[in-house]
């Protein structure tokens, strides 16, 4: 699920319809150079589940396991031979247990608890539209401040990490691409079109990459705006309209992984996305979500273990091919270094149960996977956002994600993050979903300056150049209700709220 409080609460988003840019029209979209591949079919059988079957990475093993899959009434949907992950659909209720007993199978399990069903659309409420008054006031303030973008006066987050000054030195290289693994990206947005890389974009829903023209766009632009917002935070162009991203000179791609029916980010979709990004020369991926249906995947559960295994194989494959993976820490204000977290939201595709889990043995995927940059969120005052998940040894770095309790002195006085929305709109959102793309943007600036840097080197540079505010001196009460909400462990150099600190775009280009 997108790392916002919940899909329904996405309706809190406040898009601005920006009439200022309407006359400019849409810029042409680059044609896709990638071959068209088959779209994964979704079985309509009432009892069909999807599975990941993880095997030894060996041709003969994979072929023999495929025979066993057929014998157990499974249908192979996709085979990722290089990482030994096979995506299967099966209506056999014992499929998981049967396939786990097969020689060469290292883990296997269902990636959902509710059956597959034919694609459809949800009918959740549309985002709230407001008048253009704030946009006009912001454009006036931006002009007075002499900044290049009409809405930049509301972008306190850029100034917080020196991204406004960085852009004057080096906006990033067009040879660097950040892929947004998310709900799809509306590349027809005039602030995204100039920097969009269609040849590195796809629809991975179902576990198979579809690269046909526009497949990467949101199924439902009114609801699935999350990925378009994230893309703008990273690489909205400095083109005299709307907003600017942290790295306005780099390319941004969209890899859609959210199910059209329930909006969930199923594991096989994410496996497909990491492999696609790696195989298409993507330098950085942004992952502002956790794989559904489990917020935490426990290694003592065979299904959840298989999910961790499959997604980890895919993200490690990407790292080995030179792709840095950046992910949001989550919006539950959980301490990932505690020994007990109450998760009452999983599984989120059927009936959730209340579980107490140990985050050292049950993992939020992909953010807790090895080598992934885990990002917590800050507000305009520079302190942890009230919702941000944290934890010493779990959080790597922090970045602005917005906080509605920390209000800036900007024209719209909105403590959230302003970015692009589908259909040529702009809106404010808050979340670790918004923090992660700031880090992805700074990582793209670093990659532009150091083209040969490995993912590990990029992560080390992000940390070395970060500004650490240290743990707060006062007990932390993020929402100001008088009740302490979280405890920051650690010191000035590294701590649970900010990891190694808030990333810095200016240092990345100097």
Binding-site ranges for Ca ion (CB under 5 A): 149, 191, 237, 239, 241-242, 477, 479, 481, 483, 485
Report whether 198 contacts 185 (CB < 8 A).
no
Residue pointed to by tokens 């029209």:
25
Which residue number, 279 or 485, has a Cβ lying nearer to Ca ion?
485
Which residue number, 467 or 485, has a Cβ lying nearer to Ca ion?
485
User: Which of 283, 362, 282, 284 lies closest to 330, judged by CA?
Assistant: 362
Q: How far apart are CA 283 and CA 42, in angstroms?
A: 31
The nearest distance, CB 270 to Ca ion, in angstroms, is 30
The nearest distance, CB 194 to Ca ion, in angstroms, is 9
Which residue number, 31 or 483, has a Cβ lying nearer to Ca ion?
483
Q: How far apart are CA 363 and CA 12, in angstroms?
A: 28
Q: How far apart are CA 262 and CA 457, in angstroms?
A: 38
The nearest distance, CB 477 to Ca ion, in angstroms, is 4
Which residue number, 35 or 146, has a Cβ lying nearer to Ca ion?
146
The nearest distance, CB 115 to Ca ion, in angstroms, is 40
Cα within 13 Å of Cα(195), Cβ side: 32
Which residue number, 370 or 482, has a Cβ lying nearer to Ca ion?
482
DSSP run (H or E) holding 427 = strand 425-429
Residues contacting 187, CB < 8 A, separation 6+: 29, 193, 196, 198, 201, 216, 217, 254
Residues contacting 505, CB < 8 A, separation 6+: 158, 161, 162, 163, 165, 166, 246, 247, 441, 442, 445
Which residue number, 400 or 478, has a Cβ lying nearer to Ca ion?
478
The nearest distance, CB 485 to Ca ion, in angstroms, is 4
Residues contacting 194, CB < 8 A, separation 6+: 27, 237, 239
Which residue number, 63 or 481, has a Cβ lying nearer to Ca ion?
481
The nearest distance, CB 372 to Ca ion, in angstroms, is 29
The nearest distance, CB 33 to Ca ion, in angstroms, is 26
């Amino acid at each position: 699920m997108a790392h916002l409080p919940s899909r329904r609460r996405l309706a809190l988003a406040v898009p601005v319809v920006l009439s200022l840019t309407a006359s400019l029209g849409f810029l042409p979209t680059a044609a896709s150079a990638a071959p068209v591949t088959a779209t994964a079919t979704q079985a309509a059988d009432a009892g069909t589940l999807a599975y990941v079957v993880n095997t030894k990475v060996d041709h003969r093993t994979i072929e023999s396991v495929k025979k066993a899959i057929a014998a157990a009434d499974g249908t192979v949907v996709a085979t990722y031979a290089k990482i030994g992950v096979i995506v299967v659909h099966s209506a056999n209720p014992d499929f998981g247990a049967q396939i786990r007993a097969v020689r060469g199978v290292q883990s296997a399990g269902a990636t959902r608890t509710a059956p597959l069903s034919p694609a459809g659309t949800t009918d959740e409420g549309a985002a709230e539209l407001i008048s253009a008054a704030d946009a006009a006031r912001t454009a006036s303030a931006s002009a007075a401040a002499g900044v290049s973008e009409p809405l930049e006066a509301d972008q306190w987050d850029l100034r917080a990490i020196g991204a406004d000054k960085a852009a004057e030195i080096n906006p990033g290289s067009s040879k660097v691409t950040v892929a947004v693994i998310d709900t799809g990206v509306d590349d027809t947005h005039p602030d995204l079109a100039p920097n969009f890389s269609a040849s590195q974009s796809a629809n991975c829903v179902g576990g198979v990459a579809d690269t046909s023209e526009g497949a990467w766009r949101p199924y439902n632009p009114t609801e699935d705006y999350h990925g378009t917002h994230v893309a703008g935070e990273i690489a909205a162009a400095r083109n005299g309209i709307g907003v600017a991203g942290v790295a306005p000179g780099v390319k941004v791609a969209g890899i859609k992984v959210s199910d059209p029916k329930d909006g969930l980010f199923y594991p096989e979709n994410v496996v497909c996305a990491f492999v696609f990004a790696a195989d298409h020369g993507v330098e950085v991926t942004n992952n502002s979500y956790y794989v559904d249906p489990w917020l935490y995947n426990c290694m003592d559960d065979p299904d959840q273990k298989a999910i961790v295994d499959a997604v980890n194989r895919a993200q490690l494959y990407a790292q080995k091919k030179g792709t840095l993976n950046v992910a949001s820490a989550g919006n539950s204000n959980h301490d990932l270094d505690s020994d007990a977290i109450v998760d009452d939201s999983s599984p989120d595709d059927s009936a959730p149960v209340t579980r107490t889990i140990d985050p050292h043995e049950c993992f939020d995927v992909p953010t807790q996977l090895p080598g992934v940059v885990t990002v917590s969120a800050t507000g305009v005052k520079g302190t942890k956002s009230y919702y941000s998940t944290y934890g010493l040894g779990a959080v790597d770095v922090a970045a602005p994600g917005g906080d509605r309790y920390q209000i800036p002195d900007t024209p719209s006085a909105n403590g959230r993050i302003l970015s692009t929305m589908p259909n040529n709109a702009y809106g404010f959102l808050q979340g670790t979903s918004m923090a992660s793309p700031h880090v992805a943007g700074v990582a793209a600036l670093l990659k532009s300056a150091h083209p040969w840097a490995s993912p590990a080197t990029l992560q080390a540079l992000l940390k070395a150049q970060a500004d650490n505010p240290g743990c707060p001196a006062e007990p932390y009460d993020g929402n100001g209700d008088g009740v302490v909400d979280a405890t920051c462990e650690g010191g000035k150099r590294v701590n649970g709220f900010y990891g190694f600190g808030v990333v810095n775009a200016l240092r990345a280009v100097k």
